[in-house]
A and B are shown apart, each in its own frame.
Chain A
Amino acid sequence: MTAVVIIDALLLLLVTATAVAIVEVRSLYASSILTGIYSLLMALVWVNMHSMDVSFTEAAVGGGISTILLIGTIVHVGREEKPIKKRLHLPALIFTALTGAALIYGTLDMPRFGDPAAPIHHYRVPEMMAQTVGFVNGTPGKQKPPEGFDLERYRRFDGRVAGPIPADPKDTAWREKSILQTYGLMVPQVRAAHEPHAEEGHHLHPPDDFNGHVPNSVTSLLAAYRGYDTMFETTVIFTAGVSLILLLRRPRREGYLQPGAVMSDQVILRVVTKLSIPFILIFGFYVITHGELGPGGGFQGGVVLATAFILYALIFGRAALYRVVPPPVSDILAGVGVLIYSGTGAVCMLLGGKFLDYSMLNKELPGDGESLGMTLVEYGVGITVSMVMLTIFNQLAEERST
């Protein structure tokens, strides 16, 4: 039993306890805080699994902003659950038990956690991790393979080098072969991508898809390979904001501004807030700009930016926030973010490439074009996410004062 397993067991125990508490507790306020705790615990579980980006998102979205929004909702619906007689709903219990049993039953034939021979690790993924997808197929518009690179060998490699999957999943000979071939093939490339090259004082780009700008493979996955999905995830956020405005916003003639309680007479809160906001903003922008270096990206950075504004509104009142970001501005910016993303895709298409083929943005150095495109879309995501979060917060706070 390793330390990781012990920590995981402890965390999962806490997660379960929190989940039960969320259901059991009567006070909605307490259950909102508990959902925040639940998310933070899950964030730790993700850390334990080495998925930092997921963890960051969980902490920022689950632990941070959704707790604020839940509490905002409580202001409208009241702090306490309606007292109803608890009775056993048998069909619901059976259905839930069956679903749970099915979930566990399904795990029985899953590859073990972290098994390097699992399909998700060796099928198509090594190229993704080394960011050499573009020239694997020698796709036009992407990077040329580096000198001495055995393209034919790469093309032949499609995750099935070790032969068909054997009948016995525990066939150790096949597993070893598979792991060896997968990683044996990768090693020089991984090394090439990670060793800094220096030549006459210039930074020489390693020969990969993004010219070495994306050490965090999660970012290349989300912003480039599956960037189209991310565009629509951003649209989901935007749609949520628009739907909320459609359903809840009161007619403009009644005015946006219904100032709520202000805490600006609290000196400590005021000073601490003023001191922290610049750092929160800088951190938010850092996370958006450098998602390719470490965990994070547009989503997480956008949420961090939004918390700076929300904190400002909580302490100095929404009247002060509306002077900084008037609601029409946040409405427009929310749309602008998605338009930046889809616009980047459209520009690539208008330049003669496929939609979202960033390499079109710089035909001399396709890798730099890809980096530029990814940075643009990350900012698009960040703008939309932060502004929609702000809109939702404003909407909830506004209704409160009626």
Chain B
Amino acid sequence: MKIRVERDGLADAVAWVARSLPARPPVPVLGGILLEADSEQDVLTVSGFDYETSATVNVPATLSASGRTLVSGRLLADITKALPNKPVELAVEGSRVEIVCGTAKFSLPTMPVEDYPQLPNMPDKVGELPGELLGTAVAQVAVAAGKDDTLPMLTGVRVEIAGDKLTLVATDRFRLAMREITWTPAQEAEDTAVLVPARTLAESAKTLGASGATAELALASGDGLVGLSGAGRRSTARLLDAEFPKYRQLLPDDQTTTAIIEVSKLVDAIKRVSLVAERGTQVRLEFSEDGLNLTAGGEEEGSAEEAIAVEFEGEPVTIAFNPTYLLDGLSAVRTDRAHMAFTTANRPALLKPVDEDGQVAGDYLYLLMPVRLPG
């Protein structure tokens, strides 16, 4: 293999693939990045696979000789990131790969490419949507996914496909986030629901969102594989084989108190008052005709209080939340104003975005369980 490639394209591709490599590869080859130069197309294919997730990127390249080689992913990522902004020449010589860029020269040992597992084929496409929309929607939902692997079903994002409606849901038992979007389903796509590992999905969707390209979702439920592609990047992940909780019944259908708040003001106020709330404690919200009064802390650790104006309607209510979870929800609505709905201090609160015309948007919701009030 002998190729010439632009430094930026190579560095981005390698960095993206390296991100999905395992931190502790049980077999050294799994910590490698596969470089393939195909003589038929002038591209360098950069891939990584650890049996769970795979990532592949094509980079335009000038080929002198085709071939494939496997090198340490971390090392290659560090090197390509540090290279000067000049064309990079990659050449395999015997069991080593030479990297020359400007005045910098590296020689890396390669790993046996025959030992590298076969990358999974991209499953069948089930639909597409703008990458930016996917990136936003996934970020809005994945924030509520659980991180504790005691309950694997909570570490995923449920993806429901029903015609041109795509629903994403995640919950960690304390909060639940749901986003509905309209997309373009593939002709022969069937309605289905799968559970995708939240972390992997969030990573892939974030990259696609930043690229501005169209994102394609692909599924092979039988093989338990999900694929996401766009902007020359393809990634696959193994689906979680677990039952997602029946969440629709959790969504409250009545409310006795509603308030429309300015997100940035409330976020700043929560951050301020929760300075006295030790880790894992609560911030209390008191809604009344006079507005919203925020309090945190107590006699021992110091206390804080702040009042903000809100558009309030209904019964006055005092309710307490974990400040981190509340902030997660407020930053996930992605609008200047948010609509909050409550019933009582021990029932979940519902947070929804409010668009510029003052309409409560129906396509996103963040359901948050309060914490017990003192006494």
Q: Are A and B associated in one complex?
A: no
Chain B interface (Cβ < 8 Å from any Cβ of A): none
